[in-house]
Structure 1
Amino acid sequence: MNSPARVIGFVNAAHFIDHYAMLIFAAAVIVMGPALGMAYPELLPYATPGFVAFGAGSLLTGWLGDHWSRRHMMVIFFAGIGVSMVAVGLVQTPLQLGAALLSIGVFASIYHPVGTAMIVSYADRLGREIGLNGVWGNLGVASSALVTGVVGQFLGWRWAFIGPGILTILLGLVFMRTVVHEDRSGLKQAAAQSRVAKSDMWRVIAALVIVVIAISTTFNAVTVALPKLFAERLSDLTGSPALLGAIAAFVYVFGALTQYAIGKLVDRTSLKAVAVPLSFLLAPLLYLAATLSNLPLILAVIGIVIGAFGQVTVNDAMIGKYTTEKWRSRAYAVRYFVGFTTAGASVGLVAWLYEQGGFATMLHAFAGLCLLVVAAAIILPTEIKVPAAQAN
């Protein structure tokens, strides 16, 4: 039988890799443009198919996780995303770049419905493990900006993809040798200790759909645009890609700390009590950030990251609390299909809004979208606690 600590450790590492791989291009595109003879708005849309596949693929991968094997799906994840990263580092044309980025998105779609369901299945305390898992994903986002900036400056953008790809393949080999196919029939459902009245489930679903669309779109737009935003707005502080990457990494650390803190809070109080205060952060901070630069911009973005990553943790905990083991991968699949598919569209939206009025227009637009998050948090119903034995 698999050790829960070992399984959760590998799944956390996979979460790091998943977000790291998806955001290498966002940081590398700054130096890739001149090398490929293309401007930023021209090159950025090549990432759109990969981000759409990131969400759309989750329906199939979640189904396979429930009906076939979550362990086998994770083996495919490590091998596939590793090879795809290496492939991006070897491209010669924009068409090849789009195909390789699409491949990353396809394999990256495995992680969230499958890996998150594995976390919930093996967790003793749902909130804590979801929070820690979120930290690993957030560190992947932060490290992607930092490492890509450093490697791109000193070794070239190709090695920013090839190096992580090789390491991911090696980690997948270790996972394949140490984690066996799991028989989930005897696993406890530590998470299923909260319920809501059946008559209130429509409020849960409505709130979840609204928040997932708004937060996923905003979150992805901000993470994709951040390297370029900092390059433009922090010009008085630095022009070094490596230092800009370090600043972006510093900002994302606050998101990681937030996810850990929110995860602990979820174990101690209701989701509504956590979600409502978080919902008031994003809209005003996005609106303010539209006109800020240098240190004030950094502080505003820290607040945006705290709000967005906190909401992601609440969303994942919500599904973990209200779904059974049998359906959990599929429930997460639907959540991530909706979230990442709309998030994929945000890449093209960022490029279009940037052409219309720069980052000021983009940030104002997403500030308006995040007003919906407040309404979603308010309509969440109150939880009814039930004993763990009953929940199973």
Structure 2
Amino acid sequence: MNKSRTVIGYINAAHFIDHYAMLIFAAAVIVLAPIYSMGYSELLPYATPGFVAFGAGSLATGWLGDRWSRRHMMVIFFFGIGASLIAVALTQTPVQLGAALLAVGLFAAIYHPVGTAMLVSYADKLGREIGINGVWGNLGVASSALVTGLVCQYLGWRWAFFLPGAATIALGVMFMSRVQHEVRSGAKGGGSARIAKGAMRRVIVALVVTIIASSTTFNAITVALPKLFAERLSDLTTSPALIGVIAAGTYVFGALAQYVIGRLLDRHSLKAVFLPLSVLLAPLLFFGAQLGSWRLILVSIGIFIGTFGQVTINDAMVGKYTSDEWRARAFAARYCLGFTAAGVSVGLVAWLHDKGGFTLMLQTFGVLCVLVVVGALIFPGERLV
């Protein structure tokens, strides 16, 4: 029988890898665009198919996780995403680059429905484990901007993909030897919330509205941040490495927010945490649209606290209201919706940046985040049992 802490440890590491891998290109594109004699807005959309696959592929991977084996699917995740990153490092043209990034997205689609369902099954305290898992994922986001900037500056962009690809395959070998397939006989985590009869429809509507708005904004801001800082922090630095350090620092605040939100969810009802958090994003996005220098950094910290914290809220909704038998498929639907919408945001970022710069982009997503408040207001009260 697998030990809970061993399984959760590997699942947390996989979450780190998942987000790290998906955002390497967002930082490397600043270096790659001149190499291909293309502008930022021209080359960035080559990542769109990969981000769409990241969401759309979760339906099939979640089904396979429930019907076949979550452990076996995670083995495929480690080896597939590692090989795909190495393939990106070997590309020679933008078309090859887009195809390799598509492969990264397809294998990355395994983690969230399968890995999160596996985590919840082994969790004793749902909020705490989802919060800690969120920290690992968003440290992956932070490290991606930081390490990619450093590697691109000192070793070259190809090493920024090759090194994490090789490390991921090595971790897959360790996972395969330490974690065995188990026939699930019941859930340890999740299913602890109860709502008034007939209110499940409000849960679903609130979840759908919130996922579309928050996931699209989350992905847009994380993809755009290296370029946003490169443009608006020019009075502080023009070094890709230092910009990566600053971006990583802002991501860390979001990751810590996920841990805090997770702990709060173990002590308070979901709505009591959800509603105050929901009002944070829209005002900060509007305010940040006009800012630069250190003031933009401070506002970006607040934006990431709101967006990263919302991810924990969304995962807790699914974890609390689904049984273990259906959990991977429920997470698959959640992430298919969220990441497919998020995938569209990559092209939207490029289009908005071309039309009105980051001022228009941030204002547009500020309008979208009003829907997060709507979702929080719709969400019903609950009682914990």
Normalising by the smaller structure, the TM-score range is over 0.9
Question: Equivalent residue for 2:274?
Answer: 275
1:14 and 2:14 aligned: yes
Q: Indicate the residue corresponding to 1:216 in structure 2.
A: 215
Q: In 2, distance between residues paired with 1:239 and 1:276?
A: 39
Counterpart code for 1:323: T
Shift of 1:385: 2.2
Pairing 1:216-295 to 2, within 5 Å after superposition: 216-295=215-294
What amino acid is aligned across from residue 78 of structure 1 in structure 2? F
Using the TM superposition, give the Cα deviation of residue 196 of structure 1 relative to its aligned residue in structure 2, in angstroms. Answer: 1.2
Deviations 1:287-326 (A, max 9, x none): 0111100100001110000000111101101110000000
Aligned-partner Cα distance in 2 for 1:327–1:372: 28
Aligned to 1:37: 37
Percent identity, please: 70
Counterpart contact for 2:51–2:342, Cα < 8 Å: yes
Q: Distance in 2 between matches of 1:198 and 1:24?
A: 45
What is the CA-CA distance between 1:207 and the residue it aligns to? 0.4
CA-CA distance at 1:198 after TM superposition: 3.1
Deviation readout 1:30-73 (Å, 9 max, x if unpaired): 00111122111110000000000000000000000000000000
Alignment map for 1:1-392 (pairs within 5 Å): 1-185=1-185, 187-386=186-385
Equivalents in 1 of 2:255, 2:87: separation in Å? 29
SS at match of 2:199: helix
Separation in 2, partners of 1:209, 1:261: 24
Shift of 1:188: 3.5
Task: State the shift of 1:215 in Å.
Answer: 0.4
Give the aligned residue type for 1:79: F
> Which residue identity is paired with 2:332?
A
SS in 2 for 1:198: coil
**AA in 1 matched with 2:204:** I
Tell me the amino acid that sits aligned with residue 102 of structure 1.
L
Supply the distance in 2 between the matched residues of 1:37 and 1:162 (Cα, whole angstroms): 23
Q: Which residue identity does 1:250 align to in structure 2?
A: G
For the residues of structure 2 that align with 1:281 and 1:385, how far apart are their CA atoms? 26
Distance in 2 separating the partners of 1:74 and 1:83: 14
Size of the alignment, in residue pairs? 385
Q: Which amino acid aligns with 2:376?
A: A
Q: Distance in 1 between matches of 2:384 and 2:348?
A: 41
Residue 195 of structure 1 and its aligned partner are, at CA, apart by: 1.5
Distance in 2 separating the partners of 1:257 and 1:178:
29
Distance in 2 between residues matched to 1:240 and 1:385, nearest whole Å: 50
Output the CA distance in 1 between the equivalents of 2:127 and 2:47: 33
CA shift digits 1:334-374 (9 cap, x unpaired): 00000000000000000000111000000000000000111
CA distance in 1, matches of 2:146, 2:106: 24
* Cα distance in structure 2, aligned partners of 1:219 and 1:199: 31
Amino acid at match of 2:45: P
Instruction: Give the Cα–Cα distance (whole angstroms) in 1 for the partners of residues 51 and 332 of structure 2.
Output: 15
Structure 2: how far apart are the matches of 1:211 and 1:55?
A: 16
How many angstroms apart in 2 are the aligned matches of 1:206 and 1:216?
Answer: 15
Q: Secondary structure at the match of 1:2?
A: coil
| TM-score normalized by the length of structure 2 | 0.99
Residue identity opposite 2:4 in structure 1: P
Provide the C-alpha distance between the structure 2 equivalents of 1:149 and 1:75, rounded to a whole number of angstroms: 29
Cα distance in 2 between the residues matched to 1:85 and 1:23: 11
Q: Whole-Å Cα distance in 2 between the matches of residues 35 and 158 of structure 1?
A: 12
> Which whole-Å deviations, capped at 9, do the CAs of 1:137-181 have from their partners, x for residues lacking one?
000000000000000000000000000000000000010011000
Shift of 1:378: 1.0
Bigger mean CA deviation after superposition, 115-124 or 33-42: 33-42
Q: Secondary structure at the match of 1:195?
A: strand
In angstroms, what is the RMSD of aligned CA positions? 0.6
Quote the offset at 1:241 in angstroms: 0.3
